[in-house]
Structure 1
Amino acid sequence: MSSIPVPPAADSDAEQLRKLGYTSNFNRSMSLWENFALGFTYLSPVVGVYTLFGLCLAAGGPPMFWAYLLVGIGQMLVCLVFGEVVSQFPISGGVYPWARRLVGKRWAWMVGWVYAIALCVTIAAVAVGAGPYLAAMLGFEPSANTNIVIALVLTLFATVVNLSGTKVLSRIAMFGFLCELIGAVLVGGYLLIFERHQPLSVFFNTFDIRIDGSYLPAFLTASLAGMFLYYGFEACGDVAEETPNPSKQIPRAMRMTIWIGGAAAMFACLALILAVPDMNAVINGTDKDPVTTILSMAFGVTGSKVVMGIVMVSFISCVISLQAAASRLLYAYARDEMIVGSDLLKRISPTTQIPVAALFVSGVVPAIIICLGFVLQDAVATIVSFAAIGIYLAFQMIVLAALFARMRGWIPSGQFSLGKWGWPVNLGALIYGVLAIINMAWPRTPDAAWYINYSMVLTTVIVIGLGLVYMWIGKPYDHGTAPAGDAWKRNP
């Protein structure tokens, strides 16, 4: 009796994709750890913690640390839902193709629209945020125009790296991950051993911070530190067609992003809080940049510049990973003919095996947003406010889509499944996500101009409104013939 030959892994992946209605010219060269590194550098604990540390510590005091744990648990619920979906539908583009299979073309188009804009805005925001750290590293005074120029150069560099292909992207992501993790551990460890100024009890000390007589509003404001950090795991799924055995590897890489990224962020935050020399000075606004104060005291002028160099590596790798995710989303959109210029955007380079035109757009659009800062700084600040809430909205649209599909009879059939825990985890992810969005959008600056105070709500209404108008006039969702709304029809 002759045995049936087992197809090579690459052939098995190609056959799985073919059954989902697609063929791919991507290079499946991204290992599990490289796929994880892409998500980790997108999440970027160093960028997230260092950027918002001073603001959130002043808003909520040392107990803001616990927000990282609470938000991490909530985002893990979302991650588990995503893991079930990507395991069954390992298709490039992440949230857009998932929404297409779970609900249908219209829902998918809007998810892709919201997520694409949020990604482009996030690229611009992270690139601009790198300016002050480069200035500190090189020893010059940062300014708005200088930050814009630095952001443009950083965006251009990220585009060049991404145009080099999946292997280069993977190696850069791994290098960024190692630098960021080692830097976070070494810097945090040094601060804990040699520069600790606060007792452990400080993590439960609110320093009498009150808003309308209660500490809770202050803590919710400070919790934005965690909410602006814990995304990036979805980027692992954006490159599903560049990863071998994606049904098994990508859900695992997503979970690793939360576990390892979250642990690194919490460790960095813990070390910084305990190293604050004068907590009252931070809370009352005397010390507006406690990170620089801590690093200068701990490492001196030269040492703090080295640390800033590590932070810059984190910013650079974060922008590269964000742009890679955005380009794969645009490619997936174009492959299904859901966007203007689809014929060009869906082309894969025969040499580098990446979507060149989609990458170009993923660099140009953020660059345009960055350049607006030369003349419209307030407007750019309002636009950038959409970065985090836009990604959370896209996430919750997938969580809702999964619930919709479950109600239609969908039973996840990929290599990763929550089984009987699917329903409670999905519902928990929805409850967490809705509460997080409300917290992010809640107006907290009553003395500011209305468009600043309600910037997140304003930008969200504009983005969704423009999307609905475009859908009504152009009906882009009707142009393609790719499978849609069939998740519950694929049960074994």
Structure 2
Amino acid sequence: MTVPAPRAHPGTAPGAGSETGDLGRFGYGQQLHRSVGPFASFAAGFSFVSILTTVFQLFGLGFSFGGAGFFWTWPTVFAGQLLVALCFAELAARYPISGAVFQWSSRLAGTDVGWITGWVMVVGQVLTVATAAIALQAVLPSIWSGFQVIGGPGADPSPTSSTGAQNAVVLGVALLVVTTAVNVIGVRLMALLTSAGVVIEILGVAALVIALFGHAERSPAVVATTTGAAEGPYLSLWLASSLMAAYVMVGFDSAGELSEETRAPRATTPRTILRALVVSGIGGALILVGGLIAAPSLTDGTLASQGLASVLTTRLGDVSGRLLLACVAIAVAVCTLAVQTSGSRMVYSMARERAFPFAGVLGRVSVRTGTPVGASVLVGVGAAIALAVNWHQSAVFTALASLCIAMLYLAYLGVTLPLLVRRLRGGLPGGVDEFGRPLFSLGRWGVAVNAVAVVYQVAMVVNLAWPRAAVYDLTGGTWWLRFSALLFIGATVLVGLVLHRRNRARHGGPIVLGALQVGGPARPEPVEEPA
């Protein structure tokens, strides 16, 4: 859906031309290397969502609450997130800048709102990197028992067990060392590995779906039942089970985080944001149905405790099952890489405005690699620290998964709510992309789509942060775990407000976007396109 623009606007592209000149209109020089093409842009969003990683990781948790009927949380969450993605696609076309959520929120509601939105997003992304890395524990020990380093091959590999939780830290930190090194080396390597990983993941999804449907035990009509659900009011259980779908379908905005590294971002990014979510939504739905119809039993507790890995090894045998699990392991690694890349660009975007602690280091781009080295290392170290908490507290796993998604949903709301206000006051500017075509736009549907997206997001934030003992307190008696989402979100916002207030006092006023880069938005200096 597009609408033509009758006039130019300083926030829109002048037509076909240099991305460097376009970026200069926002007050930024081209420091990051533009090495990301359309497929790599799609891969950034798809690998953040990473249905093989996240569905395998939390299928058992979702099923343990809602039974077979938990499948319906998937289309519900997909529909809500599609509305959010449509809003983000419009913004990506108009503001192709790294640190997308921070930049979009700042330009819609001012830099005070934008800063706290970006801060919440950064913390959420760091937690998401940690949670993605944990997913190795749900896969590698099933491929080879030797990956269970803590306690030996005979130990319980479940991420919520003592030995499984500690082993998850070991495997996760090892993965973070690799992903941090890749991010430091350069965006070309990151894009190459992400693209290759996405090809493997898509092929793995296709093979997995065919294998599961080819070993069906029951009809797909099972999704209309509550077989396997826990005891209690089903609506409450179903809402709790939506954690899985909510956890999977985030990160499609990662293509926006790479806007300054993407060729023709105004034309490319909106489409790759939507394509990443749609492909993930279709593939994930097929995997869920396949898992439910191929599981040997829905009532013996195995599916809830061991998830899809048990279905594969049981139905396909050791060799075929382990080959598909190897695809999942690759997806986990690429997912962790993509989330860390996205988080590092957010940190970099805020730091170059002197809006982040240690901005001099975190806002610097390596001349040789064209990457924000300090920001990449910070996100990796922060994720490792979050992982370390899991060492002596195995109950943190499910709490961490729900908490990180609640943070991301809250940050997304910091964009869509100001966007709705902007629409009601007059709407977004028009313009054309790098090829002279009208920018992506929702047109007359914008207000309705945006309003429903905001309502959905508010409902999901409340649902995800609700102090359920079964999600946040697996010990059954630790009050701070049960209320950890509310406590952590409150503490994050409070710390963010204190940091922002100190930053304003230090610099004598609010952040002026782009003013520190190339002379300010009104007078951008010419810069050379990197080779």
Counterpart for residue 220 of structure 1: 239
- Matched AA of 2:446: G
Q: Distance in 1 between matches of 2:496 and 2:453?
A: 25
Is the deviation greater in 300-309 or in 392-401? 300-309
Equivalent position SS for 1:130: helix
Question: Which moves more between the two structures, 217-226 or 68-77?
Answer: 217-226
Match of 1:339 among 327, 346, 356: 356
- The aligned counterpart of 1:390 is 407
Distance 1:131 1:61 in 2: 23
Asked if the contact 1:372–1:380 (Cα under 8 Å) also holds between the matched residues in 2, the reply is: no
Which residue does the alignment assign to 1:303?
320
Report whether the alignment pairs 1:148 with 2:148: no
Quote how far apart the aligned CAs of 1:483 are. Answer: 5.6
1:55-66 alignment to 2 at 5 Å?
Answer: 55-66=61-72
**Alignment partners' CA distance in 2, 1:208 and 1:161:** 42
Matched, 1:231 2:262: no
Q: Does 1:459 align with 2:488?
A: yes
| Aligned 1:191-230 pairs, distance under 5 A | 191-193=212-214, 195-207=215-227, 209=229, 214-230=233-249
Give ranges in structure 1 of 5+ residues lacking alignment.
1-6, 485-489
1:159 equivalent in structure 2: 180
> Among 38, 42, 46, which residue is 2:48 paired with?
42
Report the AA paired with residue 445 of structure 2.
W
| Structure 1 position 451, deviation (Å) | 1.9
Number of the residue aligned with 2:467:
443
Q: 1:171 matched to which residue of 2?
A: 192
Aligned to 2:130: 124
How much does 1:274 deviate? 0.7
Equivalent runs, 1:222-261 vs 2, <5 Å: 222-261=241-280
1:199/1:376 CA distance change after superposition, 3 Å = closer
Q: Does 1:187 align with 2:218?
A: no
Return 101-110 or 468-477, whichever deviates more: 468-477
- C-alpha displacement at 1:412, in angstroms? 3.6
Query: Once the 2 structures are TM-superposed, how far is the Cα of residue 433 of structure 1 from its aligned partner?
Result: 0.5
Query: 1:441–1:372: structure 2 CA closer, same or farther, 3 Å change rule?
Result: closer
Give 1:482's aligned residue: 513
Partner Cα separation in structure 1 for residue 303 and residue 190 of structure 2: 42
Among candidates 290, 308, 316, match of residue 333 of structure 2: 316
Tell whether 2:88 aligns with 1:82.
yes
Give the structure-2-normalised TM-score. 0.85
In the superposition, relative to structure 1, how do residues 185 and 384 fare at CA in structure 2: closer, same or farther (>3 Å)?
Answer: closer
Secondary structure of 2:371 counterpart: coil
Query: Which residue of structure 2 aligns with residue 327 of structure 1?
Result: 344
- Post-superposition CA distance 1:36-60 (Å, at most 9, x none): 0010000001112111111211211
SS in structure 1 at match of 2:227: coil
Q: Percent identity at matched positions?
A: 28
Decide which moves more: 421-430 or 132-141: 132-141
Shift of 1:295: 1.2
2:353·2:514 contact (CA, 8 Å) conserved in 1?
A: no
Q: Is 464-473 or 255-264 further displaced after alignment?
A: 464-473
Question: Mapping of 1:351-430 within 5 angstroms?
Answer: 351-375=368-392, 377=394, 382=399, 385-414=402-431, 415-430=439-454
The alpha-carbon deviation at position 15 of structure 1 amounts to 1.8
Per the TM alignment, residue 473 of structure 1 is displaced from its structure 2 partner at its CA by 3.7
Distance in 1, matches of 2:388 and 2:231, equals: 37
Contact 1:9 1:245 in 2 (8 A): no
SS in 1 for 2:59: helix
Question: CA offsets, 1:105-129, max 9 Å, x none?
Answer: 1111101110000111111111122
Equivalent residues, number: 476
Question: 2:488, 2:68 → 1: CA distance?
Answer: 31
- TM-score where L is the length of structure 1: 0.91
1:329-366 per-residue CA deviation (whole Å, 9 max, x = no partner) reads 11100111101221222221122111111111111111
- Counterpart CA distance in 2 for 1:39 and 1:231 is 9
Q: Hey, what's the Cα distance between the residues in 1 that align with 2:16 and 2:32?
A: 11
Say if 1:84 and 1:412, in contact at 8 Å, map to a contact too.
no
Aligned mates of 2:174, 2:230 — CA distance in 1: 42
Mapped contact 2:179–2:336 kept (Cα < 8 A): yes
2:160 alignment counterpart: none
Deviation at 1:184, TM superposition (A): 1.1
Query: Could you tell me which amino acid in structure 2 is paired with residue 204 of structure 1?
Result: A
Give the Å deviation of 1:287: 5.8
Cα distance change on mapping 1:368 and 1:83 into 2, 3 Å? same
Superposed displacement of residue 316, structure 1: 0.2
Q: For each residue in 1:94-115, what CA deviation from the matched residue of structure 2 results, as whole angstroms up to 9, or x when unmatched? A: 1001111111111111011100
CA distance in 1, matches of 2:120, 2:402: 13
Pick one of 449, 452, 458 that aligns with 1:434: 458
Q: In 2, Cα distance between the equivalents of 1:380 and 1:204?
A: 29
The secondary structure found in structure 2 opposite 1:331 is helix
2:355 touches 2:500 (CA, 8 Å); kept in 1?
no
Is contact 2:255–2:269 with CA below 8 Å preserved after alignment? yes
Amino acid at match of 2:240: T
* TM superposition shift of 1:453: 2.1
For 1:216 and 1:381, the matched residues in 2 are separated by 20
Q: Counterpart of 1:69?
A: 75
Q: Decide which structure has greater helix share.
A: 1
Distance 1:286 1:422, change over 3 A: closer
Bigger mean CA offset, 145-154 vs 201-210: 201-210
- In the alignment, is residue 95 of structure 1 matched against residue 101 of structure 2? yes
Structure 1 residue 399 displacement after superposition: 0.5
Matched residue type, 2:206:
V
The 1:379/1:295 distance shift into structure 2, 3 A limit, reads closer
CA distance in 2, matches of 1:9, 1:169: 29
Q: Give 1:35 deviation, angstroms.
A: 0.3
Letter in 2 for 1:431: V
1:385–1:455 Cα contact (<8 Å) kept: no
Alpha-carbon RMSD: 2.4
- 8 Å CA contact retained: 1:382, 1:459: no
Structure 1 stretch displaced more, 50-59 or 128-137 = 128-137
The one-letter amino acid paired with 1:23 is: G
Bigger mean CA offset, 176-185 vs 435-444: 435-444
Asked if the contact 1:276/1:290 (under 8 Å) is kept, the reply is no
Equivalent-residue separation in structure 1 for 2:101 and 2:422 (angstroms): 15
Structure 1 residues 293-331: Cα deviation after superposition (integer angstroms, max 9, x where no partner): 211212222332222211110110000000100111111
The SS at the match of 2:175 is helix
Contact 1:60 1:209 in 2 (8 A): yes
Letter of the 1:38 counterpart? A
* Paired residue type of 1:347: R
Moved more, 439-448 or 88-97: 439-448
Tell me whether 460-469 or 174-183 shows the greater mean CA deviation.
Answer: 460-469
Partner AA of 1:457 in structure 2: L
d(CA) in 1 for partners of 2:118 and 2:514?
A: 16
